[in-house]
């Protein structure tokens, strides 16, 4: 082995090792730069959504879609609002579509013959479109951009709709499948709200939700008198409530947004198996961030959220079993519930 003048074979070997290591590091960094961050892949659901938009001639347009039902009061109010905006051309560049979920064809035809919206109405009796766009609350508003991507999903975004549309109009390139939806969910301080939310029951006695909590927690089912899916949940609550009560988890129904007399009339002949509290205003709906009914909230003994979501009783049972330390399958509700609302 040759040596540098004044050096040694060991020194030469050390220099070579250093240079090789440096070269390897440079190549590795170059490789990382070439590869770049992994791009989010389009999901099957996103691809299907874009296909629907393309097939129905909405590509290149910004569209607000309302998923609703003929017999849902809030759905009707949403449709009226869209008809007004469309008629007045209030938001430049925004198109409108209504997706109707009723299975009753005669009711469908009669309703829209009377309403006469001057934009497309898609009949969705098997809820296939609602499932494609994950629009399982009723009503649900979905805002689609020029590239066929869902950019908002939730209740009517009244205060933000103009801002959202202007942002979408300014976009010149597809933001890709990883783009975030407008309007993130605002978290709520549940233990605090349990104590602060005081509502009357059907006899007129006011109490806080905290007062209703048991040693094992509390199940709150937010409903109203007009939504058929809320009605389904109300009818199934006795089965759920009796199972949970055995584990010291009481159940309460909280009726939102209906007048006192309407609430009392609705529940007068119903054996719901749980206390009914009600708020004739929208205050409780807003403070608890309830976008649709039925919404189910399960809290543990400390008031922390164990489940919040749809009235799918198998999911509620699974969450309750975990928070109560029960063996899986212990609760086994015999009712299915609904993923709509």
* Pair 223, 92 in one domain: no
Residue 263 lies in a domain: yes
Same domain membership, residue 221 and residue 156: no
pLDDT averaged over the chain? Answer: 88
Answer yes or no: do 251 and 139 share one domain.
no
Q: Is residue 184 part of a domain?
A: no
CATH number at residue 266: 3.40.30.10
120 and 204 part of one domain: no
pLDDT at 208: 96
Number of domains within the chain: 2
Same domain, 319 and 198: yes
Give which of 146, 203, 198 is closest to 172, Cα–Cα. Answer: 146
162 and 197, same structural domain? no
Q: Are 69 and 149 in contact (CB under 8 A)?
A: no
E strands present in 178-241: 198-200, 206-208, 218-223
User: Which of 142, 170, 198 represents a domain boundary (last residue)?
Assistant: 170
Last residue of a domain, one of 170, 204, 230: 170
Predicted confidence (pLDDT) per residue in 102-116, tens digit: 999 999 999 999 999
165 plus 224 within the same structural domain: no
Is 35 inside any structural domain?
no
Backbone angles phi, psi at 256, to 5 degrees: -110, 130
Is position 179 within any domain? no
What residues contact 47, with CB distance under 8 A and at least 6 apart? Answer: none
Instruction: Assess if residue 37 is contained within a domain.
Output: no
Give the domain extent around 52: 44-170
Segment of 145-159, 207-221, 276-290 carrying the highest mean pLDDT: 207-221
- Answer whether residue 14 shows pLDDT above 60: no
Q: Are residues 138 and 231 in the same domain?
A: no
Instruction: State the Cα–Cα distance between residues 263 and 277, nearest whole angstrom.
Output: 9
Local structure of 101: helix, strand or coil: coil
Per-residue model confidence (pLDDT) at position 43: 86
Overall pTM surpassing 0.85 (yes/no): no
Number of other residues whose CB lies within 10 A of the CB of residue 145: 23
Q: What DSSP character marks residue 215? A: T
Phi and psi at residue 138, to the nearest 5°: -130, 125
Q: What's the pLDDT tens digit per position in 232-285?
A: 999 999 999 999 999 999 999 999 999 999 999 999 999 999 999 999 999 999
């Amino acid at each position: 082995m040759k040596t540098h003048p004044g050096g040694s074979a060991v020194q030469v070997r050390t220099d070579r090792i250093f240079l090789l290591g440096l070269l390897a590091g440079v190549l590795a960094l170059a490789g990382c730069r070439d590869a770049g961050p992994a791009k989010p892949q389009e999901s099957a659901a996103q691809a299907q959504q874009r296909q629907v938009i393309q097939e129905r001639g909405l590509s290149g347009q910004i569209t607000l879609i309302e998923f609703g039902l003929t017999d849902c009061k809030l759905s009707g109010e949403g449709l009226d609002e869209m008809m007004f905006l469309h008629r007045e051309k209030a938001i430049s560049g925004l198109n409108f579509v209504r997706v109707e979920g009723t299975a009753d064809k005669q009711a469908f035809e009669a309703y829209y013959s009377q309403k006469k919206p001057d934009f497309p109405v898609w009949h969705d009796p098997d809820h296939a479109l609602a499932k494609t766009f994950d629009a399982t609350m009723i009503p649900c508003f979905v805002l689609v951009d020029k590239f066929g991507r869902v950019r908002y999903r939730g209740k009517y975004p009244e205060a933000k709709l103009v801002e959202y549309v202007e942002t979408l109009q300014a976009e010149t390139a597809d933001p890709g499948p990883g783009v975030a939806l407008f309007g993130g969910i605002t978290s709520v301080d549940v233990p605090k709200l349990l104590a602060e939310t005081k509502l009357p029951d059907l006899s007129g006695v006011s109490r806080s939700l905290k007062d209703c909590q048991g040693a094992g927690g509390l199940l709150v089912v937010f409903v109203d008198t007009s939504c058929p899916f809320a009605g389904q949940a109300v009818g199934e609550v006795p089965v759920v409530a009796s199972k949970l009560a055995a584990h010291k988890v009481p159940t309460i129904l909280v009726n939102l947004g209906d007048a006192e007399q309407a609430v009392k009339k609705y529940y007068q002949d119903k054996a719901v198996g749980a206390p009914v509290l009600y708020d004739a205003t929208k205050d409780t709906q807003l403070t608890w961030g309830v976008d649709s009914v039925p919404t189910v909230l399960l809290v543990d003994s400390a008031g922390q959220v164990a489940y919040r979501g749809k009235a799918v009783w198998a999911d509620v049972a699974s969450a309750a079993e975990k928070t109560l330390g029960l063996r899986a399958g212990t609760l086994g509700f015999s009712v299915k519930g609904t993923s709509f609302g």
